[in-house]
Structure 1
Amino acid sequence: MNIIKTTKNYVKKIIGKESFEFINHAKNYMTATFFTKAIGFISVPIFTRLMTPEEYGVLAIFTSLIAISTILMGLNFHGSVMRYYHEEEKNFGEFISSNILFLFLFNIFSIYFI
């Protein structure tokens, strides 16, 4: 246990505390992403064994539609909110309300035509 602590302190001293914290957080995100991808990879043989080709095709089409609609429903507005907040803090409430209104109307429009 002492060797691990000594190694961490040595790496912190070499690359700096901020870089070490960045690497530590990146490690957490990469681990979570790896596990979600691994679960998807492991579930493919299970699904193909339990489903007929027609059912698996329906599942693939449904998954594709969900992925596309997720992209369209969000429109990356979380990025615009973060950018606006850091660049210009005045009228932030109006900006948020107009974003919410636009997303709501766009989603209603999308659901109606899908």
Structure 2
Amino acid sequence: MKFLVLESETAEEREARRQRAGKSSGETYAATLTGMVPGAEVTRIAPADADAPHMGLEDIAAFDAVFVTGSPLHVYDDKQEVRRQVAFMRAVFASGVRSFGSCAGLQLAVFAPGARCAR
């Protein structure tokens, strides 16, 4: 199985979480997934980052599932980091790959296709 983990934290937030908890949210997801599915291939991407590598629909479609982590970011905050994540989530939906989001990942899952989220 091939899983894509979308880290929805910024680079600074990922580092702060590593200092607090030992791993970023995406690293925690990756460890959990490989523990649940031995031999699983897990790739992490951080589309909130301006320098994140581009993934097209074909790239995303190569995965069996996409998992979206939690984050202190919120979709109702109009920030460039949020806009990049929303665009990536729209690409996930367009690819047809199954996805799961927790916390901020759930916000992205409902906001990307057009629903509203509020504080």
TM-score range (shorter-chain normalised) is under 0.3
Specify which structure has the higher proportion of strand. Answer: 2
Q: Which has the larger radius of gyration?
A: 1
